[in-house]
Amino acid sequence: MASIPAPAPAPRRRGTMAYRHDIDGLRGLAIALVVVFHIWMGRVSGGVDVFLTLSGFFFLGSLLRGAGDPNTPLNPLPHLKRLVRRLYPALVVTVAATVLGTVLIKPPTQWSAIFEQTVASLLYYQNWELALTASDYAAADATISPLQHLWSMSVQGQFYLVALAVILGVSLLWRRLVRRGTPKWVLVGIVAAGTATSAWWAVLGQSTNQPWNYYDTAARMWELLVGGLVAIILAGIVLPWPLRLLTTAAGLFLVVSTGFLFDGAGHFPGPLAWYPIGGALLIILGGNLPPGLRATPARDPITWLLSGRLFRRLGDISYSLYLWHWPLLILWLSHDREAEITLVSGLVIIAVSIV
């Protein structure tokens, strides 16, 4: 049966960015890489770094655009309520199931550390818990915490609070003291300065204490901040067709090849993190199409592919898929310490995670 064509996109104002289904798909690709490399490769793929950048793109980009509208309310409570509704129920269910699995499967000698990480995960300081206990980000095995992966959720939660405080706080001061215009570009300057400072801190941390640096919120902050910058600065920039094709193809190659070329656990969020994140930024730039134009397999194949149902669906469930795959993997390995992850067992873990 022939599919019904979707309606043409509504016109948009100059300097704004239309809703990008391909970025939803890029989020799905990023989480797919995380899952595949965790289960079968035992290394960091760069997918989490891309995911963090896209979180900054959506959340911080929305806040910065709102700062340009003097009629936008500056009450943080609606933002916090949306975040809690979107993030907390899935987190609580996953953590509760993991605690039950820990009691049933893990040896009692590991319970205490996992219970401490349970509290840290629910209160969004798991990254500091792991950093303070000198826990290297290790490949999956029976001795690893089934909550280790939640460090990135803690970094995101801390970022959301800082972003709300800075963006809404500066906007409030602007309205009370300046009372004309908007602080949008002042805020963009603050975000740019924060990006540069955090990137410098990540470089310094890699050379002095990489295990700490990996979990450090200050070192990770640039990965989210640069996403917000891109959401504002690249809005409305449309490359001519040959450049769009080359840019998105190069970006896809960088994102997908990262985990095959090096293990990010020893390098991220240092300079090498720009490799997958730069790929994501190229996809964002090259996927910005002229008003009224839709991606096709012939002209914009990467944008078309990422806008497809499969990757968009993965993007829709990316948060929950990320939450579930690691505890299931670790509990499986803890249940049978002689077991190796085969193609079949890995696919079963992915299937259960998706369900």
| Residues 6 or more apart in contact with residue 133 via CB below 8 angstroms | 113
Q: What is the pLDDT of residue 341?
A: 85
Residue 297 is predicted with a pLDDT of 93
Three-class SS of residue 268? coil
Quote the DSSP letter at residue 270: S
| 15 close to 65: Cβ distance less than 8 angstroms | no
Tell me, what's the pLDDT at 303? Answer: 96
pLDDT over 70, % of the chain: 93
Q: What are phi and psi of 246, to 5 degrees?
A: -65, -40
DSSP-derived 3-state class of residue 182: coil
d(CA 254, CA 329): 27
CA distances to 90, 98, 322 from 103, in Å: 20, 9, 22
Region 92-99: what's the mean pLDDT?
96
Nearest to 148 by CA among 349, 315, 329, 320: 329
Token pair for 168: 């809404």
Greatest Cα pair distance, the chain, in angstroms, is: 68
Mean pLDDT of 257-272: 94
Question: What is the pLDDT confidence band of residue 351, given thresholds at 50, 70 and 90?
Answer: very high
Which amino acid is present at 142? A
Residue 2, pLDDT above cutoff 70: no
Q: Alpha-carbon torsion 164, 167, 169, 175, what sign?
A: negative
Task: Give the pLDDT confidence score for residue 17 in this predicted structure.
Answer: 59
pLDDT, tens only, 227-244:
999 998 887 789 999 999
- 127: which residues sit within 8 A by CB, 6+ positions away? 151, 152, 154, 155, 158, 215, 216, 217, 220
Q: Can you tell me the mean pLDDT for 264-268?
A: 92
| Token pair belonging to 239 | 């490359």
Neighbours of 161 (CB within 10 A): 15
Mean pLDDT of 54-71: 88
Q: What is the mean pLDDT of the chain?
A: 90
Centre a 10 Å sphere on the Cβ of residue 61 and count the other Cβ atoms it contains. 19
- Across 31-45, 64-78, 247-261, least confident range: 64-78
DSSP letter string, 290-330: PTT----TTT-HHHHHHTSHHHHHHHHTHHHHHHHHHHHHH
- Tokens encoding 353: 């995670």
Residue 83: phi and psi, rounded to 5, are -65, -45
Q: Which amino acid is at 8?
A: A
Rounded distance, CA 290 to CA 236, Å? 9
Confidence (pTM): 0.91
- Quick one: tokens of 314? 């993965």
First to last CA, the chain: 28
**Where is pLDDT greater, at 25 or 73?**
25
Q: What is the pLDDT of residues 282-326, one digit of tens each?
A: 999 999 999 888 999 999 999 999 999 999 999 999 999 999 999
Look at residue 74 in the predicted model and tell me its pLDDT: 87
Q: Which of 290, 297, 301 is nearest to 249 (CA)?
A: 301
Q: Tell me if 327 sits within 8 A of 353, measured CB to CB.
A: no
**Least confident among 123-127, 155-159, 219-223, 294-298:** 294-298
> For residue 215, what are the contacts with CB-CB under 8 A and spacing of at least 6?
127, 128, 130, 131, 137, 151, 155
What single DSSP character describes residue 9? P
pLDDT of residue 138: 67
φ/ψ (deg, to 5) at 72: -70, 125
Nearest residue to 45 (alpha-carbon basis) of 306, 262, 266: 262
